[in-house]
Amino acid sequence: MLPGIGIFGTGPAVKVLIPILRENGFKIEAIWSRTIQDAQELAKEQNIPFYTNKIDDVLLRKDVVLIFVLCSPNLHAQISVKALGIGKHIVCDKPAGLSQADALKMVNASQYYPALISIINHSFRFLPAFTAMRKQVGDDYLGSSIKLIDVRIQCGSLYSEADNFDWRCNDIMGGGILNLIGSHVVDTVTYITGAKALRVHGVVRTFTKTTKSINGIRQISAPDFCTFQMELEGGILVTATLNSQLVNNSFHQDIVITGNDGYLTVRGCELFGKRNGDLEEVLLSEADNKEWVVSNNLPRPYILGLYKMIGALREAFLPVSETAGWIKDPVCFAAGFDDGLYVQAVLSAIKQSSQIKQWVKVDVMTEQPDTNALLSAAVRRTAISIT
């Protein structure tokens, strides 16, 4: 029997997730939102029996066994750690919290309860095009080594002109193209190559600071453009440009991996390849992705990946026999909380690089920082600047 679902959040991703869950046989038992009005509205629209604006009201329900955290990043660690502590499985949206400190709390909790599923919603890992690309890289389609990875993603604004100011508009609260799309890029590159970033160099910018509904005292601080380079283990160089300045809501994704003997490229949901001396070939076409969920304004690659991830999650909860327990194998390729911690380290380094205009080493946190020491350092920096 599949577990009951509790969902935190009422944004566009939730409205896409609910029909996917139901198609796979899951029952949504409860929905949470920051305001009771939003929770009530979505519960009525989606026929969900329970709604609330109190976190514990969802976590403590006996019919809720699997939690989806798709709310603002400042609540990711709080909800995930508490849920694991009372025996709930977790799927948390990206990025993992607001900082490495948040992500490390989640990692420690997941390691303390290893029997529970705890994964980050990096749905690109389940997109068939990237799954096939990873296999081709492993089968040496590109030759003995990878030289360069070039990523270019262009899309419309991450919020509409009618949207009011919320966490997506605020860089400190986890909004912006670097956190929401760049986190997928960082994770996917490591998933495909198996190599992690050693150092990064980035430029992060916010070009659109006001809209028709967001103006005056409150302005948008979340970046809508970023470009960064990553030097990976083994000497692989990654260049990425993420631009949400398109006027319409179209989405263009082009990811090219170049090796000694040719290249592989994902365009949208399709995979193409070319070996030296040969013509470009289609390795995975749009026709291969027959399973599809009609979406609203979210890009097709994200939702197709989510669709496949939920299918794998369903398999993880199906009993292998009448006496056997649940298995985690179908989601063994999903991003864990430790992957979320690594992504946070890379994002932090990119932001720091943009500020100081230098290459920055990627340092993954292994223990919680001493808050007293950080406060003392901040006081010293303030004193120096005053003098």
d(CA 186, CA 149): 11
Q: Please tell me whether residues 148 and 281 are part of one structural domain.
A: yes
Q: Which pLDDT score is estimated for 322? A: 39
Q: Which pLDDT score is estimated for 210? A: 85
Identify which of 127, 153, 361 has the alpha carbon closest to the alpha carbon of residue 243: 153
The answer to whether residue 361 is domain-embedded is no
In the numeric block, the tokens 């916010």 are attached to 206
Q: What is the token pair recorded at 93?
A: 């949206």
- The 3-state secondary structure of 177-188 reads HHHHHHHHHHHH
Q: Which pLDDT score is estimated for 158? A: 82
Q: Please tell me whether residues 153 and 35 are part of one structural domain.
A: no
Residue 328 is which amino acid?
A: K
- 10-residue averages of pLDDT along the chain (387 residues): 94 92 96 96 96 97 97 96 97 95 96 94 95 95 94 87 81 93 97 97 94 83 96 96 84 94 95 92 78 63 92 86 48 93 98 97 88 53 44
Q: Using one digit for the tens of pLDDT, what is the confidence trace for 192-227?
A: 999 999 999 999 999 988 888 888 788 899 999 999
The answer to whether residue 292 is domain-embedded is no
Q: Please tell me whether residues 161 and 282 are part of one structural domain.
A: yes
Q: Which pLDDT score is estimated for 375? A: 52
Residue 246 is which amino acid?
A: L
Q: Please tell me whether residues 261 and 171 are part of one structural domain.
A: yes
Residue 257 is which amino acid?
A: I
Domain carrying residue 11: 4-124+301-336
Q: Which pLDDT score is estimated for 324? A: 43
The answer to whether residue 366 is domain-embedded is no
The answer to whether residue 354 is domain-embedded is no
Q: Please tell me whether residues 144 and 268 are part of one structural domain.
A: yes
Q: How many domains is the chain partitioned into structurally?
A: 2
Q: What is the token pair recorded at 189?
A: 């590159």
d(CA 255, CA 186): 12
Q: How many CB atoms lie within 10 A of CB 375?
A: 10
The answer to whether residue 373 is domain-embedded is no
Residue 63 is which amino acid?
A: D
Q: Which pLDDT score is estimated for 330? A: 73
Q: Please tell me whether residues 57 and 102 are part of one structural domain.
A: yes
Asked whether 335 and 287 are in contact (CB, 8 A), the reply is no
Q: Please tell me whether residues 166 and 242 are part of one structural domain.
A: yes
Is residue 331 within a helix (H) or strand (E), and if so which, with residue range?
Answer: none
Q: Which pLDDT score is estimated for 161? A: 65
Is residue 83 within a helix (H) or strand (E), and if so which, with residue range?
Answer: helix 76-85
Q: Please tell me whether residues 38 and 84 are part of one structural domain.
A: yes
Q: Which pLDDT score is estimated for 381? A: 46
Q: What is the CATH number of the domain that holds 100?
A: 3.40.50.720
Q: Please tell me whether residues 129 and 270 are part of one structural domain.
A: yes
Q: Please tell me whether residues 199 and 328 are part of one structural domain.
A: no
Residue 197 is which amino acid?
A: A
Q: Please tell me whether residues 168 and 233 are part of one structural domain.
A: yes
Q: Please tell me whether residues 130 and 108 are part of one structural domain.
A: no
| Nearby residues of 311 by Cβ (< 8 Å), 6 or more positions away | 24
